Chain A
């Protein structure tokens, strides 16, 4: 049994070293782009690429819907959906976004992370809003 240890210990050490043990005190090397690192460290708004992408998505969606309403679906865009509400494209975007926020918050509060399930539910909710509401 002891002999087995003699043989395997160096292997363990080797694998631990390969996993990066013993490098704790070393400065982490710049690995390039990270979604969660500060985007502009000296700027006060504390942007990260992740939150920046989130807002790009929201404003992009608003812009696309605005353009669609102005150029493609002029007039007659309103319709009554299954909830009995008269909604335009913008209303439906608002309902999808607000609903998604609540789906994520509810999941976080009741179940916790990770959030793949609520992501799926939110996409389904968004599709439902744009097709039926």
Chain B
């Protein structure tokens, strides 16, 4: 007979409380803000769903959303294949394993605002190493403070530098967990390296890659600090991603109502994409 034991709930309780305080209560407040107007001093006026209508129809929101999807798409399409390639070429045993792992982990240990400041100094056209080299030694015009394309190249490169390691480490963990017997069987069958990758390594990495892509999607879709420190959303609005725009509306203009509505729409998008992605990736396992 199965024993009935509900004690596990007690162990979950602290986490539930924590989630209530750092997620539920703020999001309930945001929902309250999104249907009201305030001029400060804790006085609120009912506004209905006007803010949602206004945000959904504003060109500014559409543009920021477009840039956000563009950014996430670009970094995913670069980081995931690059991460897999690096993980595949890392040694599986020997003294170079810890060296590689530490080197890979280093970028992720650096705080986000420091990453932004580093890349800012690194790429400034007159004093930065890269900026100076490009403009004055190689003669290639590269100025991320003036040219939108250069700014985009810089923020994408920065994110690739910062976060490819995550994909690498997760893929590597998936790779080393494959027993040797699989490779031996493939060798006996005379499988090509591509087939080994396609039918042995990739399926075995699927779970960790799902997590890696999910994490990278959510992180890059919610990214704020690095582009804010690096370009501040400029030049013009060319790198004003959704979160930067949101902070501008909420704190710069103190339009709490529209900002709350915008963040709920933002939240709904993140939730839907994450759910879709997770469901599609785990669908086959459930069958």
Q: In the complex, what distance in Å separates the CA atom of A113 from the CA atom of B51?
A: 12
One of B28, B29, B44 near A38 (C-beta < 8 A): B44
Report the minimum CB–CB distance from A15 to chain B (whole Å).
29
- When C-beta atoms are compared, the residue in chain A nearest to B267 turns out to be A101
- Closest chain B CB from A53 CB (angstroms): 12
Across the interface, B28 reaches (CB within 8 A) one of A45, A98, A102, A112, namely A45
Q: A109 to B57, Cβ gap below 8 A?
A: yes
Among B34-42, B127-135, B140-148, the one that faces the other chain is B34-42
Determine if B35 and A51 form an interchain contact, defined as CB atoms under 8 angstroms apart: yes
Structural contact, A108 and B271, CB atoms closer than 8 A: no
A127 interface contact, C-beta 8 A = no
Q: Which residues of B contact A115 (CB under 8 A)?
A: 49
Tell me the minimal C-beta distance from B230 to chain A in angstroms: 32
B8 touches A (CB below 8 Å)? no
B32 touches which one: A51, A84, A105, A109 (CB < 8 A)? A51
Bound form: Cα–Cα A36–B35 in Å: 9
Total cross-chain contacts (CB, 8 A): 63
- A36 — which chain B residues lie within 8 A by C-beta? 46, 48
- Establish whether residues A48 and B46, one from each chain, have CB atoms under 8 Å apart when the complex forms: yes
Q: How far in angstroms is the closest Cβ of chain A from B76? A: 22
A45 & B44 in contact (Cβ 8 Å cutoff): no
Q: How far is the CA of A103 from the CA of B267 in the complex (A)?
A: 15
Give Cα A100 to B246, complex, Å.
24
A113 proximity list for chain B (CB < 8 A): 48-49, 53
> Is B36 within 8 A of A105, CB to CB?
no
Q: Are B42 and A44 closer than 8 Å at their CB atoms?
A: yes
Residue pair A51, B48 in contact (C-beta under 8 Å): no
Instruction: Give which listed residue, B36, B272, B286, contacts A98 with CB less than 8 A.
Output: B272
Contact assessment for B272 and A46 in the assembled complex, using a CB-CB cutoff below 8 Å: no
Any chain B CB within 8 A of the CB of A54? yes
Complex contact A105–B42 (CB within 8 A): no
Within 8 A of B (CB), among A57-116: 84-86, 94, 98, 101-102, 105, 108-109, 112-113, 115
Given A45-B28, A46-B44, A47-B32, residue A84 in contact with residue B56 (CB < 8 A): no
Question: Which B residues touch A48, using CB under 8 A?
Answer: 32, 35-36, 44, 46
Question: Is A117 located at the chain interface by the 8 A CB criterion?
Answer: no
CB closest chain-B residue, reference A59: B24
Q: Which A residues are CB-close (under 8 A) to B283?
A: 84-85
Give the contact-size bracket for chain B: 20 to 34
Q: Does B74 contact A (CB under 8 A)?
A: no
Give the residues in chain B near A23, CB-CB below 8 Å.
none
For A101, the chain B residues whose CB sits under 8 A away are 268
Q: Is B279 an interface residue (CB 8 A)?
A: yes
B279 proximity list for chain A (CB < 8 A): 85
* Residue A50 CB within 8 A of the other chain: yes
The reply to whether B275 and A108 contact each other, CB–CB distance below 8 Å, is no
8 Å CB contact of A46 from B25, B32, B268: B32
A-B contacts besides A37-B46, A46-B36, A109-B57, 7 pairs, CB < 8 Å? A36-B46, A36-B48, A44-B29, A50-B35, A86-B287, A109-B56, A115-B49
Interface residues, chain B, with chain A CB atoms under 8 Å away: 25, 28-29, 31-33, 35-36, 38, 42-44, 46, 48-49, 52-53, 56-57, 265, 268, 271-272, 275, 279, 283, 286-287
27 pairs, CB–CB < 8 Å, chain A vs chain B:
A38-B44, A44-B29, A46-B32, A46-B33, A46-B44, A48-B32, A50-B35, A51-B28, A51-B31, A55-B28, A84-B283, A85-B283, A86-B286, A94-B275, A98-B268, A98-B272, A101-B268, A105-B265, A108-B49, A108-B52, A108-B53, A108-B56, A109-B57, A112-B53, A113-B48, A113-B53, A115-B49
